[in-house]
Amino acid sequence: MPRKRSRRAETVVLPAAKSLDHRPAPISPNDRRLNFGEKWSYAPAPEAHNYIQLKRRYQLFIGGKFVAPRSGKYFDSINPATEEKLAEIAEADARDIDLAVKAARRAYKSVWGKMPGRERGKFLYRVARLIQERSRELAVLETMDGGKTIKESRDIDLPLVAAHFFYYAGWADKLEYAFPGRTARPLGVAGQIIPWNFPLLMAAWKLAPALACGNTCVLKPAETTSITAMHLAEIFQEAGLPAGVVNIVTGAGETGKALVEHSDVDKIAFTGSTSVGKLLTQAVAGTKKDLTLELGGKAANIIFEDAPIDQAVEGIIAGIYFNQGHVCCAGSRLLVQEGVFPAVIRKLRDRIATLRVGNPLDKNTDIGAINSRMQLEKICQLVDSGLRQGAELVQSKALLPKKGYWYPPSFFTGVTESHRIAQEEIFGPVLSVMTFRTPEEAIERANNTPYGLSAGVWTDKGSKIFKIVSKLRAGIVWANTYNKFDPTSPFGGYKESGFGREGGRHGLMPYVMLN
Ligand code: NAD
Ligand code: MN
């Protein structure tokens, strides 16, 4: 059934893009360019959310209890797809942080730090099972608060969240095998700060290994996506996790800063922007605190002439339009070997025109809402810079909903290495396409970035994969696939993408002292 045009035939108003009109134009019925809207539209298939119990206000989770912030201040969390307020979130200040760190220290000294690993493991298994039981509800909440599609929160985020708890539950009583011949001891209290792109998954990446190793935690979610973390807190209560083992404090940068500066924190783990990462490096220098950073990326996805092109184009689509491009390891630079450039561009063009942008709770939606107005403005600014510096933009003419924050799937051609869009993280559904002639040139271009988080290689030849991969300065390289995650596999970057690994046996290392 074709969608009724009257309901959604609105053009997007992109706040930052006044001077250059690259916004999707209204579609005329005769316009066949990049407009498969009618042909490809599906009947609405919205995920039910009427059973979701949102609280009017979410408090802080400290010492096993939900408590009001000392300041009495709250801020709103909105649904970026509708701009509706979902709930009020407590704003923690330095006094609340102090209470949370004290609760974590008490729990560390009195129970968790000395509990045998096999007992800690039981709690983690219980948490993992409760997450699985409530995974649909958590996926819907994740989509409502953050804007990501239900397809992803349901099929990617939540299964991985549970898998991380299961995986690290398994290590809790086997640390002597993780580090043969050495004794692994916990560090103490870990302060953990996470971003908004994978709210629950980042919480799991941080909490599960820290707890498995016997540390206690103070977690700070991102200010636009705190709700699911507070539902996770309920799961910790339900699992009977001893009070204070996990504390969750909400708020923005100031709250995070207070956590980093607290004198009784032993370790800071951070995922987010490189600029904040640099601030944290300065803040912990000269203190007893350990630090791990997982920062941005500007990954190169390299397509060789011998690659299976259709498969590669699908991988590129998944690599950059997946999760609205809100992925630090997104394949945001595409390097295409010259001989296949026209074919790849033609296929990409056709394919982005079929991507469905809109209601993230609809099961058929491919690209949901941009997480916040601020992020949308940042995307628009970078796209403007690309146009000003002379690159050409190809953009889907998908009809965008009137309310909410949206950006249509887009890519740039004619990009040179000095363009900002080739160097900076756009963190949106925008790809920069460049070409290369030889494998050496591909490697040089791929490595020509201050980042070093991830990369992708597409070729028919296994030997070429190994040759290229060994020369790429990236923590993760996918070959003939992209954006695949598994709790057993370490993740992390080189250079300005940070240091320390999360996931796998490596992911235990940042949370132990080895003797
Ligand atoms: P950010 O780095 O500002 O925020 C990440 C987390 O750090 C949030 O919880 C935030 O509240 C907290 N924070 C902010 N300032 C802090 C400070 N001074 N001390 C301690 N904690 C602080 O990222 P953002 O503003 O949400 O996004 C900006 C850019 O960061 C994005 O456009 C993107 O390029 C990048 N980013 C990267 C990732 C990633 O996974 N690597 C995730 C989200 C955003
Ligand atoms: Mn929100």
DSSP letters spanning 282-322: HHHTTSS-EEEEE-----EEEE-TTS-HHHHHHHHHHHHHG
Q: Does residue 312 share a domain with residue 290?
A: no
Q: What is the pLDDT of residue 40?
A: 54
Query: Is the shortest distance between the CB of 426 and ligand 1 below 6 Å?
Result: no
Which one has a higher pLDDT value, 399 or 279? 279
Ligand (nearest to CA of 148): 2
Note if 380 is an active site residue: no
Note if 294 is an active site residue: yes
Number of domains into which the chain is organized: 2
Q: Is residue 231 assigned to a domain? A: yes
Residue 89 to residue 504: CA distance in whole angstroms: 33
pLDDT tens, residue by residue, 86-115: 999 999 999 999 999 999 999 999 999 999
pLDDT band at 472 (very low <50, low <70, confident <90, very high): very high
Averaged over 393-409, what is the pLDDT? Answer: 92
pLDDT tens, residue by residue, 7-24: 333 333 333 333 334 444
Q: Does residue 312 share a domain with residue 242?
A: no
220: pLDDT strictly greater than 90? yes
190-211 burial by CB neighbour count: b if 16+ within 10 A, else e? bbbbbbbbbbbbbbbbbbbbbb
Strands 74-79 and 84-90: antiparallel
Q: What is the pLDDT of residue 14?
A: 38
Which one has a higher pLDDT value, 141 or 16? 141
Non-local CB neighbours of 217 within 8 Å, separated by 6+ positions: 104, 189, 190, 191, 192, 206, 207, 210, 211, 245, 246, 247
335: pLDDT strictly greater than 70? yes
187: pLDDT strictly greater than 50? yes
Q: Does residue 221 share a domain with residue 101?
A: yes
Q: Is residue 72 assigned to a domain? A: yes
The neighbourhood of ligand 2, an ion, using CB within 5 A, equals: 77, 145, 224
Q: Does residue 501 share a domain with residue 467?
A: no
pLDDT band at 43 (very low <50, low <70, confident <90, very high): confident
Q: Is residue 468 assigned to a domain? A: yes
pLDDT tens, residue by residue, 64-79: 999 999 999 999 999 9
pLDDT tens, residue by residue, 194-210: 999 999 999 999 999 99
Distance 248 CA to ligand 1 centre (A): 17
CATH assignment of the domain containing 382: 3.40.309.10
Q: Is residue 488 assigned to a domain? A: no
R_g of the chain computed on alpha carbons? 23
Residue 142 to residue 325: CA distance in whole angstroms: 16
Q: Does residue 333 share a domain with residue 457?
A: yes
Q: Is residue 280 assigned to a domain? A: yes
Distance 18 CA to ligand 2 centre (A): 26
Distance 292 CA to ligand 1 centre (A): 14
The terminus-to-terminus CA distance of the chain in angstroms comes to 66
Distance 195 CA to ligand 1 centre (A): 5
Q: What is the DSSP letter of 153?
A: I
Q: What is the pLDDT of residue 295?
A: 94
pLDDT tens, residue by residue, 475-514: 999 999 999 999 999 999 999 999 999 999 999 999 999 9
pLDDT band at 42 (very low <50, low <70, confident <90, very high): confident
Query: Is the shortest distance between the CB of 320 and ligand 1 below 6 Å?
Result: no
Q: What is the pLDDT of residue 490?
A: 94
CATH assignment of the domain containing 227: 3.40.605.10
Q: Does residue 424 share a domain with residue 301?
A: yes
Please give the distance of CA 307 from its chain centroid, rounded to a whole number. 28
**Ligand 1 pocket mutation pick from 273, 373, 483, 496 by most atoms within 8 angstroms of CB:** 273
Q: Does residue 459 share a domain with residue 409?
A: yes
232: pLDDT strictly greater than 90? yes
Distance 287 CA to ligand 1 centre (A): 22
Q: How far is CA 500 from CA 20, 294, 313, in A?
A: 41, 8, 31
Q: How far is CA 382 from CA 389, 399, 429, 503, in A?
A: 10, 22, 12, 32
Q: What is the pLDDT of residue 27?
A: 39
pLDDT band at 30 (very low <50, low <70, confident <90, very high): very low
pLDDT band at 399 (very low <50, low <70, confident <90, very high): confident
Residue 302 to residue 332: CA distance in whole angstroms: 11
Least confident of 34-38, 140-144, 161-165: 34-38
Q: Does residue 473 share a domain with residue 359?
A: yes
**Ligand 1 pocket mutation pick from 77, 193, 497 by most atoms within 8 angstroms of CB:** 193
Q: What is the pLDDT of residue 24?
A: 43
Q: Does residue 383 share a domain with residue 250?
A: no
216: pLDDT strictly greater than 50? yes
- Computed over every residue of the chain, the mean pLDDT equals 92
Q: Is residue 124 assigned to a domain? A: no
For the CA of 276, the nearest atom of ligand 1: 2
Query: Is the shortest distance between the CB of 256 and ligand 1 below 6 Å?
Result: yes
Amino acid at 86: L
Which one has a higher pLDDT value, 329 or 9? 329
Q: Cβ distance 469 to 477 under 8 Å?
A: yes
Q: Is residue 145 assigned to a domain? A: no
> Structural domain of residue 218, as residue ranges?
60-78+91-114+184-294+493-514
Q: Does residue 506 share a domain with residue 367?
A: no
Q: Does residue 303 share a domain with residue 387?
A: yes
Query: Is the shortest distance between the CB of 443 and ligand 1 below 6 Å?
Result: no
Q: Does residue 355 share a domain with residue 249?
A: no
3-state secondary structure of 247: strand
Helical (H) or strand (E) element with 89: strand 84-90
Whole-model pTM: value is 0.93
Ligand (nearest to CA of 196): 1
Q: Is residue 147 assigned to a domain? A: no
Averaged over 444-467, what is the pLDDT? Answer: 95
Percent of the chain surpassing pLDDT 90: 89
Q: What is the pLDDT of residue 28?
A: 40
Q: What is the pLDDT of residue 2?
A: 42
Q: What is the pLDDT of residue 398?
A: 84
29: pLDDT strictly greater than 50? no
